Structure 1
Amino acid sequence: MIYGLPSLCVLPMYLNNLKQYFGFDSLRPGQDKVISKVVDGHSAAAIFPTGSGKSLCYQLPALQLPHLTLVISPLLALMKDQISFLHSKGIQAASIDSSQTWEETQQVMQGVRSGNIKILMISVERLNNERFRQFISQVPISLLVVDEAHCISEWGHNFRPDYLKLPQYRQLLNIPQVLLLTATATPAVISDMGQKFGINSDDIVITGFYRHNLDLTIAPTPENEKQAALFQTLSSNPSLPSIVYVTLQKTAEDLAVYLQQQGMMAQAYHAGMDSERRQQIQNDFMAGKHQCIIATIAFGMGIDKSDIRRVIHFDLPKSIENYSQEIGRAGRDGLHSDCILLGSKSGLNVLENFVYGDTPDQSAIETVLRLIQQNVPQWEVVQLRLSKESNIRMLPLKTLLVYLEMADIIEPQYTYFADYRFKLLVDQQFIINQFQGERQQFVSDIFACSPKARTWHTVDFDALWQTTQAERKRVVAAIDYFSEKGWVALESKQMTDVYRVTNPNFDIGREATRLYQLFKAKEQSEISRLDNMLSFFESEQCLSHKLASYFADHHAPQQCGHCSVCRGNIATLPSDTQQAEVSENMLKAWCDPFIAACPTPPSAAAITRFLCGMTSPLHTTIKARQLSGFGKMEQYPFQQTLTQISQCYPHLT
């Protein structure tokens, strides 16, 4: 691994584009090393802290590489910000995303085909789209860029199973180089990312995580004093641009109202708001119309505001990685900025419940395994339907499917949309007349096998196979072509994953136990991550040094001189107030209606999730939120509640 140090010179080949398009005379530490590796034909990884210019590491090479640069980005808002920035620099970039009209998507695809667009940004889920894969496979690609690349690692704080497929897609699309970007990777995650993409350790560039201008303060604050402490902190200098991070959407709303009542210009921001409202709040903050945003972690990804002077954590962050990412949004201009945690352990149960809510019951895993054995040799999965059938949340369900792939029980074949429908924009006979011979007959058969309901025709692939023995791939290619030509408007839905069952002869009970243990290990890893975070906040060591060391930066000073520990204030976070004991009669009054509503007897863990207010597909089906017991014990520790339930209902597993 290479630790980037300030460069004494910049390679001449970059100077023209760097100055012409971006207006910079030189590159930041680490950027020149990464860019030279990419331009020289190597795959690479850039492990830079938030705000250190990771994006330039692909934007500058993209101008010199012969073909398309394909960027995987995790957030729509991030894509839009990046594209607006690139357009302002005269660089042809675009995205294909769910917010676009059919016409807009077609325009982007045409620009990519013609080579006019140099950078295309998509979400990782876009690669599951059969039509998109068919389109992009015909486009020569020079470089695959994976932003937030730590998502590929199960050791990371934000594991996303779809990222595990990226090395496979890279091979499928014949992409010669890959560039990984992340701001939050521990040594274990860095090693895992490099191994999955085959990147040599010499091509992994790590710059220092230490930020000399960030003042880190851990301020132990009892829960009932937090609002007053927040107001006091903000009112000391209300003109400073500030972000206040909270865990729950309701907290964001309540705090914004409280601060507004105190005469402060504060706005709530969270994923529960519609996108237009969120965009307006973000624009107002960027323009300085609002100086304070009270936000969940939905806010901040891609925010390129250099003068944020304060980042305040009203609630505990989810991990050290999240904390680092969030405080990294302060002081990107290099000027002094304050990062303050109003620390107490009161929100710890909520964070732990997020973790416990994602561990499926062993019986739910058995349901999935039975379905596999019942569908040999080919298993077709509509994930939303399987989630409801098995009562496993979508994210852990995707993780389970990946575990099954890794165990060689199933092998992914392809993904398709079960339903394709189109609306004619020109006369049907006109389309048929554009072809001759066998192709004309094939097009006629497509229309003959696509019954019309009002204005939309639905393609009957089974009927087409019986009529013409045409492969589905050819039919999809044909109607995609009609769409490109502007002859039809095309819609597709109900995404279906097709797996080949490679080993149906497994023992369901034994395999379910093995898989359940994997989830329990992951659960324990996440709980340990929370424990590590608490230890960090209560550390006797310099906070800046300890944070840098966590991310493999061993060059930070032993004593930074600008954190609460260096000022002699070692934190002890106040514990939660003791919750009242819940009697067995009260427990049964809350739980019995839930048990009665369940189609099969629930596990003790399922009842605990109900009491702790965790959502699941089953809860939606039986309308559990309407039952009086839902969420009654959300402030109680999960394990303590589980023990009580097991004692109250000893016959449940």
Structure 2
Amino acid sequence: MEKAREVLKDVFGFQSFRLSQEKAISRLIVDNENALVVFPTGGGKSLVYQVPGLCLDVSLQITFHVCSFIYSPIYQGLTLVISPLIALMKDQVDSLVSRGVNAASLDSTQPPERSKWIKAEVLAGKMKILYVAPERLNNEGFVNMMTQVKISLLAVDEAHSRFAVELDVERVLCLTATATPSVSADICSSFLIAKEGVFSTPVFRPNLSLRIEVAETLDEKIDRVVPLLKTRTGPSIIYVTLQKQTEEVANYLMPHGIDAMVYHAGLPSDRREKIQTAFMESKDGVVVCTIAFGMGIDKADIRQVIHLYMPKSLENYSQEVGRAGRDGVTSTCVMFLSSLDIPTLEGFCRGDTCSKQDLELWLQEVATKVPAPDGTLDFNHYKQGKDYDIRANVLGLCYAHLELDHGYIRAITPFYSFYEITPLNSSRIFSDNSQIGKVIRTYWRRKSATGKHEIDIVDAASRAGVDRADMARHISNWELDGSAEVKASQVRARYTLLKPFEKTAASIRALADEMHTRMLKQEEDSVKKLRQVIAFAIDDDCLAHNLAKHFGNEDAVPNDMCGSCTFCTTGQSVEFTLKSPTVVHPKQIQAVLDACPIRDDPRLLARMAFGVTSPRLTANKWSTSHTLFGSMVNVDFGHLVQAFDAECKKVGYQSLEVTTATPSSSKKRSQSQISSNNSNTNRFNNRGRGDSKYKRGRWN
């Protein structure tokens, strides 16, 4: 640990570690064991991997890769950090480089020259800390490069246990800002972390004043917020739920002399970056944003965090208020409760669930897929999402369910099926007379006059009778030795088949029923989390103590009273009563029915009315660009499903004709054809979504 203390002082300028940092670091570099660190936002998580990253030594070994016919060095000492936050990666890399540390990030925003230099530094053993986004683990070229590097420490803020196992990582550090005891137990189980390897810091921050306000309308909220903003002594963040609310709230604030910035995920990336930079540099800036803002923000002097609309969970709330007052100065965190907001939030809790029929059809494709010669299955998740109208996050959970609960499959490194190759050293590539080199040149096609070529390696490998993985590895080696620039696309998830699927219609239907029931339970769990926020806000208890209890820190708040929250300063809890949900209006229901001919999926109609998009809605232009999308956002989502189910039942769940425009013709097909088949297999084949012959609307 002496070296760790020297690094802390000489590189980072700190005289001592904070809280549990030293114990966690000792666990990694002295005990050589995995660890879980649960520190609140701003609690110093980054030092727990940055310091070990500079303490682990480099040593050289030599290995031989037959496929590339080159000697490749394997180095120890690299710390690999997996983070979904490009802004955070950039800030931390800039900070490390300014301290003389050789650190970098590989992300989609970098030019080819920069990426090439970073990869060369990694392979040369000179890179100490490398940041990458989770999707980089889907890149076979990156994984191939990592097999040539000994990773001494893998730092993850999400579960990537598969990657840690496949690359034989020496130590794993799991990082999270909030975790209940049950969540911590799940993480420890995945990464084999013993109880003594868990290090946590209570979420209680004595300088944060937690306040609750009750206001029904936006006008009432603005009336309360404006005086607060006018007395601010530093920057303020105002969180809303929907993207459209950011502009709406900013417009409400403007007449009061408050020029607020607007930030949400729907803005162009350059615009988001400009806003974030302006906020980081401001002395008293105000930003109205969705939860897309704040991820990776490390600004010490934020004086106010205002939840104009209620957060969806206490985990979200804790992370978001944790962005205030990181400098230790008193800061105010206000959360508004409004009955009018509850249906919207509950609707988003329920909007992910797909139809049971679509789930059954997806399972049919997965179960009947013929494995590759190596026993693996691969699928294009993007295409499946469109074909079966399953949102990306839900589809990922479906595959996880097949793996973790039923043991049918095990996720392994995905691969890309298309590669764009731009030769930089043409003589090297065109003189490559290896079998794989010849196959690549035979099946690639010239893409442009600039010398770019494109190849579908799945198709090429099948036609040439070679291994697809060998082709991908060969292309990766061209990139690594500087012979070509390579851009991969069309990712395919890959799984090892552990045991055969049961393929009968009855077994597939039973599994679909079970998974759909699980989705419905997940809905209820999400609603319960939302209700926990309400219970927290109106409980007859200190808010800080109540929050700490939720995360298992019952003794964090001295005497169970913070002295500054709404309860502590008023001596009483907030009065708040939920009102009855808005009644479903028949004319609004009919308007949606007139606009959307789908009758086989009541939930899809409910999502359109409520404003929750899906692949099928987007493809048919019934989503964000449609005037009726979100027209019933204030109605209880469950009531919408019931109302549309009643309408679909009247026509036997048979959709009206959907017109699909093509360049040469206009095709029509009635979904009544679908239900005429008796067996699950026939219904799947006749509906045609398994082989993409049938399109429900415009997919192109």
Q: TM-score, normalising length from structure 2? A: 0.84
- Which stretch of structure 1 is more off in the superposition, 455-464 or 494-503? 455-464
> Which of 571, 575, 587 is residue 574 of structure 2 equivalent to?
571
Is 1:613 paired with 2:596? no
> Which of 138, 146, 150 is residue 140 of structure 1 equivalent to?
150
Alignment of 1:106-145 (within 5 A): 106-145=116-155
Going from structure 1 to structure 2, the CA distance change for 1:198 and 1:18 (only over 3 Å counts) comes to same
SS in 2 for 1:205: strand
Is 1:499 paired with 2:495? yes
Deviation at 1:192, TM superposition (A): 0.8
Determine the C-alpha separation between the residues in 1 that align with 2:192 and 2:132. 22
AA in 1 matched with 2:468: R
> Which of 21, 24, 47 is residue 14 of structure 2 equivalent to?
24
Deviation at 1:411, TM superposition (A): 3.7
Determine the C-alpha separation between the residues in 2 that align with 1:580 and 1:523. 22
Q: Deviations over 1:557-607 (max 9, x none)?
A: 311211111122411235458635513x5523432441x2x3xx3222222
Specify the alignment match of 1:56 in structure 2.
47
Specify the alignment match of 1:482 in structure 2.
478
Specify the alignment match of 2:61 in structure 1.
none
Q: Deviations over 1:374-433 (max 9, x none)?
A: 323354311111001111011101111111222123344542211123122343x45444
Going from structure 1 to structure 2, the CA distance change for 1:133 and 1:291 (only over 3 Å counts) comes to same
Specify the alignment match of 2:423 in structure 1.
424
Is 1:272 paired with 2:266? yes
Whether the 8 Å CA contact 1:352–1:638 is kept in 2: the answer is yes
SS in 2 for 1:190: helix
Is 1:76 paired with 2:86? yes
Whether the 8 Å CA contact 1:69–1:118 is kept in 2: the answer is yes
- Which stretch of structure 1 is more off in the superposition, 401-410 or 190-199? 401-410
Specify the alignment match of 2:409 in structure 1.
410
Whether the 8 Å CA contact 1:72–1:123 is kept in 2: the answer is yes
SS in 2 for 1:459: strand
AA in 2 matched with 1:603: D
SS in 2 for 1:566: helix
Going from structure 1 to structure 2, the CA distance change for 1:333 and 1:579 (only over 3 Å counts) comes to same
Deviation at 1:364, TM superposition (A): 1.2
Going from structure 1 to structure 2, the CA distance change for 1:524 and 1:465 (only over 3 Å counts) comes to closer
Determine the C-alpha separation between the residues in 2 that align with 1:341 and 1:644. 33
Whether the 8 Å CA contact 2:24–2:48 is kept in 1: the answer is yes
Is 1:171 paired with 2:165? yes
Specify the alignment match of 2:338 in structure 1.
344
AA in 2 matched with 1:30: S
Whether the 8 Å CA contact 1:267–1:290 is kept in 2: the answer is no
Whether the 8 Å CA contact 1:432–1:440 is kept in 2: the answer is no
| Unmatched runs of 5 consecutive residues or more in structure 1 | 1-10, 150-162
Going from structure 1 to structure 2, the CA distance change for 1:500 and 1:181 (only over 3 Å counts) comes to closer
Whether the 8 Å CA contact 1:220–1:574 is kept in 2: the answer is no
Specify the alignment match of 2:638 in structure 1.
639
Going from structure 1 to structure 2, the CA distance change for 1:119 and 1:627 (only over 3 Å counts) comes to closer
Specify the alignment match of 2:201 in structure 1.
207
Whether the 8 Å CA contact 2:235–2:285 is kept in 1: the answer is yes
Q: Deviations over 1:131-162 (max 9, x none)?
A: 11111111110011112x4xxxxxxxxxxxxx
Specify the alignment match of 1:297 in structure 2.
291
Determine the C-alpha separation between the residues in 2 that align with 1:547 and 1:446. 58
SS in 2 for 1:315: coil
Determine the C-alpha separation between the residues in 2 that align with 1:432 and 1:440. 10
| Unmatched runs of 5 consecutive residues or more in structure 2 | 58-76, 654-700
Determine the C-alpha separation between the residues in 2 that align with 1:44 and 1:79. 21
Going from structure 1 to structure 2, the CA distance change for 1:238 and 1:120 (only over 3 Å counts) comes to same
AA in 2 matched with 1:425: L
Deviation at 1:649, TM superposition (A): 4.2
> Which of 175, 182, 187 is residue 193 of structure 1 equivalent to?
187
Going from structure 1 to structure 2, the CA distance change for 1:431 and 1:505 (only over 3 Å counts) comes to closer
AA in 2 matched with 1:638: F
Specify the alignment match of 1:232 in structure 2.
227
AA in 2 matched with 1:72: I
Determine the C-alpha separation between the residues in 2 that align with 1:372 and 1:49. 40
Whether the 8 Å CA contact 1:49–1:208 is kept in 2: the answer is yes
Specify the alignment match of 1:362 in structure 2.
356
AA in 1 matched with 2:592: W
Alignment of 1:311-390 (within 5 A): 311-378=305-372, 379-390=377-388
SS in 1 for 2:566: coil
Is 1:458 paired with 2:457? no
SS in 2 for 1:505: coil
Whether the 8 Å CA contact 1:450–1:460 is kept in 2: the answer is yes
The total of aligned residue pairs comes to 616
Going from structure 1 to structure 2, the CA distance change for 1:485 and 1:399 (only over 3 Å counts) comes to same
AA in 2 matched with 1:476: A
Specify the alignment match of 2:103 in structure 1.
93
Going from structure 1 to structure 2, the CA distance change for 1:260 and 1:630 (only over 3 Å counts) comes to closer
Going from structure 1 to structure 2, the CA distance change for 1:461 and 1:342 (only over 3 Å counts) comes to closer
AA in 1 matched with 2:386: K
Deviation at 1:644, TM superposition (A): 2.7
Deviation at 1:277, TM superposition (A): 2.2
Specify the alignment match of 2:659 in structure 1.
none
- Which stretch of structure 1 is more off in the superposition, 562-571 or 374-383? 374-383
SS in 2 for 1:587: helix
Deviation at 1:185, TM superposition (A): 0.3
- Which stretch of structure 1 is more off in the superposition, 642-651 or 74-83? 642-651
Determine the C-alpha separation between the residues in 1 that align with 2:522 and 2:458. 42
Deviation at 1:275, TM superposition (A): 2.2
Determine the C-alpha separation between the residues in 2 that align with 1:124 and 1:250. 29
Determine the C-alpha separation between the residues in 1 that align with 2:461 and 2:277. 52
Deviation at 1:505, TM superposition (A): 1.7
> Which of 190, 210, 215 is residue 216 of structure 1 equivalent to?
210
Going from structure 1 to structure 2, the CA distance change for 1:643 and 1:17 (only over 3 Å counts) comes to same
Going from structure 1 to structure 2, the CA distance change for 1:266 and 1:477 (only over 3 Å counts) comes to same
